[in-house]
Structure 1
Amino acid sequence: MMTPETQKQLKITDVSAKKLDKLNLNTAWDLVLHLPLRYEDETHIMPIKDAPIGVPCQVEGEVIHQEVTFKPRKQLIVQIADDSGSVLFLRFIHFYASHQKQMAAGKRIRAVGEIKHGFYGDEMIHPKIRDAESSGLAESLTPIYPTVNGLNQPTLRRIIQTALDVTPLHDTLPDALLGRLKLPHLAESLRLLHSPPPSFTIHQLSDGALPAWQRLKFDELLAQQLSMRLARQKRVSGTAAALGGDGTLTQALRHALPFALTDAQERVVSEIRRDMAQTHPMHRLLQGDVGSGKTIVAALSALTAIESGAQAAVMAPTEILAEQHFIKFKQWLEPLGLEVVWLSGSQRKKPKTKPKPNSPTVPSKSPSARTPCFQTTSSSKIWAW
């Protein structure tokens, strides 16, 4: 939630602060980085006859007719004509008496919205309306922000502009790097995206190729990489038992296999074995297509843990897959003198803790210190320790 100090600094009411909280906008920097979803061009008037279909535009004309119809539902129909005599219909399904007064016959108004082919002819549905005689044209493209009910665009634009004015937009990147990458400064980029001048087209601002967009994308990727680097350093600083293994079980399984490992499998097994021998936790995702041989890699990794005097567990996302692994691991590991145990979420607690003798789905005795366990959980990751 926004602090009272920030509310006072940005001149935000309690009601607006609650609306902003729904958008997770609670600091001045949150607001500065709340970028437009799109832009509307209200810097010039488009003749009605030249206005494109399906593209936001601004037209101006005199109200020549207004009526409330009830077919197929209650709605306000306003007809305007510009100086060339071209006519456009404005349709409002939700309206108040103030709207009817604002668009009374003879009034000159501006309408901003998308023109579509309608029942009455070319029309705008619920366009944004301004009094043409009392309001001037916008000096820059109008940003349209993601918002919530009760927080309109003018209010959000004013709040963001205030945040831009009071927030020190210090650059974190050296000028030499910006020059080499041909990227603008952060303050320049943010101000341009929030208040682009008329010289920029909506297309330029929307395709993401603008240097201002490129600068923010660069900062986002840099922050992501730095976060990953810090997380990696934190993981490395943790401690875990080193599981080196003497290689006896892994070599025995290799000799018993009716196939040889591929070069990729050999490389991955070596990397995993090296990671497990470290004194910090392993953090690795093994990726491969169906049938590429991930299961045998998991089995060899489990044997490395067992060689070191530990147990190993392999978790599968479904009970069917866990049972398939159970059968495969029994074929591979029982000839090595190891007992393979299957535990599933559908089992009752007692069989899990005190398995019945000769049960086909649970061990006939409690797992020893050298027993790999295979358990189904909601996780799809494979862990070996």
Structure 2
Amino acid sequence: MPAAEEIDASPAIRSRLRKLGLERSSDLVLHLPLRYEDETRLTRIADAPVGVPVQVDARVLDVSITPAARRQLVARVSDANGDDSILFLRFLNFYGSQMRALAAARDQGLRLRIFGEIRSGFLGPEMVHPRYRVLADDEALPQSLTPVYPSTAGLSQSALRRLIARALKEADLADLFDDRWCQSHSLPSLATALALLHAPPPELTDSADSALQTRSHPAWRRIKFDELLAQQLSLRRAYLARRRKGAPELAPAGRLANALQAALPFALTAAQRRVADEIIADLEQPYPMQRLLQGDVGCGKTIVAALAACQAIEAGHQAAFMAPTEILAEQNHLKLRTWLAPLGIEVVCLSGGLSKGIRRAKQVQAATSAQLVVGTHALIQENIDFARLGLAIVDEQHRFGVVQRLELRRKGVNPHQLMMSATPIPRTLAMSYYADLDVSVIDELPPDRSPVRTRLFSDQRRDEVTAAVRAVAASGRQAYWVCPLIEESTKLELQAALDTHAALTVELAGLRIGLVHGRLRGDEKAAVMAAFVAGEVDVLVATTVIEVGVDVPNASLMVIEHAERFGLSQLHQLRGRVGRGAHDSVCVLLYQQPLSPTARARLKIIFENSDGFEIARQDLRLRGPGEFVGSRQSGAPLLRYADLEVDADLVELAQETAAKWLRDDPERAGHHLRRWLGNREELLKA
């Protein structure tokens, strides 16, 4: 297929096609239908079912414009087969040319071919805004289903069909797989698959759950495989390209890491030791590490990151630790400083909430003496320089965009990068969207973690919940009360937090009620959290700023108000704030009726599961990969056709094929990438 065949169309049409990502005529070939309409058969008006798309041939009896306040165009038609059955065509929005065309068809006795859904109207059976056209007398019915494509404003289906039909005739659809390979995997050739999907015979959609409609037909599976193969090739090429870059070899004797482990009041789990060894081996290489460290809430990722930082520091380099929120940055700073300061390591915290003078002083430290710099997005600002950055650690990496992670890496000369996530990624998603990363998994919780029981309470039982909070405080323990998530307005969310704090101050009179939210200054948030950690606050009312990183072992109760508004990942993260000590811990999900089917499904999943990987798998099933990953957070090309749950076998086959081609046949790999991605491959992982 030629590399850059411009679409033969007017500039206006090309502009609209670009909105759909269609730059080349070969892109049109891979622009596949959303659904199909059956225009291969005719239905008599008398036999047409209500509410089902049908096609009828009719003659216009009369046409008029209703004199009502909102004018409508109404045409009365009869079955062209001589049947006396009547159908009304109603157009709420119309042009004068439509009126004239329908009147001309009436006067000349021409037939109309009409497609739409019949419904019961005031005057009788009617179609509202049907698709219709005037027929030539000898016009035959089409032999294939009519495709309906994804489109955009100003680009009609008929125009798209013409462009795609022409592109199919002109395209080079030479298959990169031979017949033997196709037969062994029960897949058709690419040309066969595309021809069928753009113009399938009517018998393939005789039911709503047909293989064509559910995309389980072999033709669809061939397209899905080719799409997955392009994704795997692009990501693995990015992975191999990074390995050709030079990076500092961080291979010290391990004195600092050993001293840190010896000073810890706990022993590493077997999973933590295994993952730490994988990272140690990476950091000793002359090319930049690009590793994703994932594990469930509370599995101990931070200590593994601290050991990696020790390795970089002992080798004479700096480490940077970037967190998505000021609270998390401050929590990590306190924890890391507690572990590392006794070893003589200078740990600095740099966040946007600092005063100008303090921030400037810490910027100077980052550029000179600091060995570990912890911070928020402030780490990637233009005026922040590092003396010798060797390791960049990104906590909760899915909360950052590709560009932000790249900016942190640019603060050094190809530093090693460790990305961490407490949102476990299902295996097929990791294989597909993170194919250019090495992935480590901490799949074991520390033995002292107490299990958290999850309870569901209707908002009508709020009094029982506040009584439980009072009982927890009376026993000397603490509780969180998380306020409703109001995605459309941070101002309303702040007000909800203020209202909840005021209400609980009355309902729980005598208890010390704290409040933390995103609008507080950094030092104010730090002061509230310090008071909670010190046991000077019984109940902490909070927005989702405490979603990650907060570690208070004495807190044993979590109440999440309007839990139906939260996603599964957030609910699991919030629940993970308790159960960090030796006390029995409970997470109460307060919900308000009525629940939507999706909200009910989410609450059922979080109630029945404590394993973050299983929750993530169910979350993927509910939301789909694009939203789960976070739009363009991964940088990977989002999949149009493949379904990672349904097509897991194709993901594995694509991964194997990509590795083989890049090793043995890079020219064929390049051809496939040009076919699927054109010049868009640079948009992939940074």
Normalising by structure 1, what TM-score? 0.87
Q: Structure 1 CA distance, aligned partners of 2:326 and 2:372? A: 17
- For structure 2, the residue ranges without an aligned partner over 5 or more in a row are 379-393, 398-404, 406-416, 420-686
User: For the structure 1 residues 300 and 120, does the alpha-carbon distance in structure 2 shift closer, same or farther, using more than 3 Å as the test?
Assistant: farther
Look up the match of 2:132. 129
| Root mean square deviation of aligned Cα | 2.8
2:370 pairs with 1:375 = no
Superposed displacement of residue 246, structure 1: 1.6
Residue matched to 2:312: 305
Read off the aligned partner of 1:39 and give its amino acid letter.
Y
Partner of 1:338: 345
> Following TM superposition, by how much is the alpha carbon of 1:62 offset from its aligned partner in structure 2, in angstroms?
3.3
Please name the residue that 2:285 is paired with: 278
State the shift of 1:143 in Å: 1.1
What is the letter of the counterpart of residue 129 of structure 1?
Y
Matched, 1:239 2:246: yes
1:67-146 residue pairs with structure 2 within 5 A?
Answer: 67-71=64-68, 73-82=70-79, 83-104=82-103, 108-132=111-135, 134=137, 135-146=139-150
TM-aligned CA deviation for residue 43 of structure 1: 0.8
State the SS of the aligned residue for 1:110: strand
- What one-letter code is carried by the residue in structure 1 that aligns with 2:205? T
CA displacement, residues 43-80 of structure 1 (integer Å, 9 cap, x when unaligned):
11123344344432212233344332244621112233
| Equivalent residues in 2 for 1:320-359, closer than 5 Å | 320-347=327-354, 350-355=357-362
Moved more, 217-226 or 134-143: 134-143
Q: Partner amino acid for 2:35?
A: R
Contact preservation (8 Å) 1:313, 1:384: no
Q: 1:371 to 1:18 in 2, by over 3 A?
A: closer
Question: Structure 2 residue aligned with 1:170, among 152, 168, 174?
Answer: 174
Indicate how the Cα distance of structure 1 residues 163 and 264 shifts in structure 2: closer, same or farther if over 3 A, else same: same
What do the CA deviations read for 1:65-121 (whole angstroms, capped 9, x no partner)? 433224462111223333554443321012223322333456542211233445555
Distance in 2, matches of 1:213 and 1:347, equals: 55
Deviation string 1:173-199 (CA, Å, 9 cap, x unpaired) is 122211100111111111111122334
Q: Is the 8 A contact 2:290 2:418 kept in 1?
A: no
Is the CA contact (8 Å cut-off) linking 1:140 and 1:195 kept in structure 2?
A: yes
2:424 corresponding residue in structure 1: none
Question: Could you say if the C-alpha distance between residues 313 and 121 of structure 1 is closer, same or farther in structure 2, counting changes exceeding 3 Å?
Answer: farther
4+ runs of 1 displaced by more than 6 Å?
365-368
Q: Report the count of equivalent residues.
A: 373
Tell me if the contact between 1:343 and 1:376 (Cα under 8 Å) persists in the aligned partners: yes
Corresponding position of 1:39: 36
Partner in structure 2 of residue 26 of structure 1: 23
State the alpha-carbon separation in 1 of the partners of residues 161 and 366 from structure 2: 66
Q: Distance in 1 between matches of 2:4 and 2:295?
A: 52
CA contact (8 A) 1:245 1:306 kept: no
Once residues 257 and 119 of structure 1 are traced to their aligned partners in structure 2, the CA distance between those partners, rounded to angstroms, is 80
Distance in 1 between residues matched to 2:306 and 2:229, nearest whole Å: 37
Q: What do the CA deviations read for 1:266-325 (whole angstroms, capped 9, x no partner)? A: 111111111111110001111122212111111111111112111111000011110111
SS state of the match for residue 113, structure 2? Answer: strand
CA distance in 2, matches of 1:236, 1:120: 72
> Which stretch of structure 1 is more off in the superposition, 150-159 or 81-90?
81-90
Distance, in Å, in 2 between the alignment partners of 1:287 and 1:384 is: 10
Who is 2:191 aligned against?
A: 187
Contact 2:59 2:112 in 1 (8 A): yes
Aligned to 1:251: 258
Tell me, in whole angstroms, the C-alpha distance in 1 between the residues paired with 2:205 and 2:111: 27
Q: Does 1:161 find its partner at 2:165?
A: yes
CA distance 1:258–1:4, shift in 2 (3 Å): closer
Distance in 2, matches of 1:122 and 1:252, equals 84
Q: Is the 8 A contact 1:310 1:370 kept in 2?
A: no
Larger mean Cα displacement after TM superposition, 91-100 or 307-316: 91-100
What is the rounded CA distance, in whole Å, between the counterparts of 1:297 and 1:222 in structure 2?
34
Distance 1:121 1:350, change over 3 A: farther
- Cα distance in structure 2, aligned partners of 1:119 and 1:205: 37
Q: Hey, what's the Cα distance between the residues in 1 that align with 2:153 and 2:370?
A: 60
- Check 1:268–1:220 CA distance in 2 against 1; reply closer, same or farther (3 A cut): same
Over 3 Å counting, the alpha-carbon distance change for 1:197 and 1:384 in structure 2 is closer
> Residues 242 and 276 of structure 1 are in contact (CA less than 8 Å); yes or no, is this contact kept in structure 2?
yes
Matches within 5 A, 1:284-295: 284-295=291-302
Higher mean C-alpha deviation, range 200-209 or range 278-287: 200-209
Within 1, Cα distance between the matches of 2:190 and 2:225? 11
Secondary structure of the structure 2 residue equivalent to 1:103: helix
Gaps of 5+ in 1: 356-361
Q: Identify the residue that residue 266 of structure 1 maps to in structure 2.
A: 273
How far apart are the structure 2 equivalents of 1:343 and 1:146? 46
Contact 2:366 2:373 in 1 (8 A): no
For residues 17 and 291 of structure 1, the distance between their equivalents in structure 2, rounded to whole angstroms, comes to 52
1:55–1:259: structure 2 CA closer, same or farther, 3 Å change rule? farther
Assess, with a 3 A threshold, how the Cα gap between structure 1 residues 231 and 52 changes in structure 2: closer, same or farther.
farther
Q: Deviations over 1:128-153 (max 9, x none)?
A: 11224544322211112222333222
* Contact 2:90–2:129 (8 Å) recurs in 1: yes
Instruction: Tell me if the contact between 1:80 and 1:88 (Cα under 8 Å) persists in the aligned partners.
Output: yes
Q: Which has the higher helix share?
A: 2
C-alpha distance after superposition, 1:197-253 (max 9, x if no partner): 334326443211121111111111111112222111111111101112222211222
Greater mean alpha carbon deviation, residues 336-345 or residues 44-53: 44-53
Whole-Å Cα distance in 2 between the matches of residues 37 and 183 of structure 1? 21
Larger Rg: 1
Q: 1:91·1:124 contact (CA, 8 Å) conserved in 2?
A: yes
CA 1:174/1:295 → structure 2, altered by over 3 Å: closer, same or farther?
A: same
Q: Distance in 2 between matches of 1:119 and 1:255?
A: 84
Equivalent-residue separation in structure 2 for 1:366 and 1:234 (angstroms)? 30
Distance 2:47 2:307 in 1: 71
Shift of 1:163: 1.2
**Cα pair distance change 1:308/1:36, threshold 3 Å:** same
Which whole-Å CA distance do the structure 2 matches of 1:118 and 1:278 have between them? 74
| Farther-moved stretch of structure 1 (319-328 vs 27-36) | 27-36
- Which secondary structure does the structure 2 equivalent of 1:354 belong to? helix
Partner of 2:452: none
Question: What is the aligned partner in structure 2 of residue 147 from structure 1?
Answer: 151
Q: How far apart are the structure 1 equivalents of 2:297 and 2:86? A: 62
Name the amino acid aligned to 1:46.
T
User: Does the 8 Å CA contact 2:289/2:418 hold for their aligned counterparts?
Assistant: no
Partner of 1:359: none
Partners of 1:86 and 1:152 lie apart in 2 by 32
- Equivalent residue, structure 2, for 1:358: none
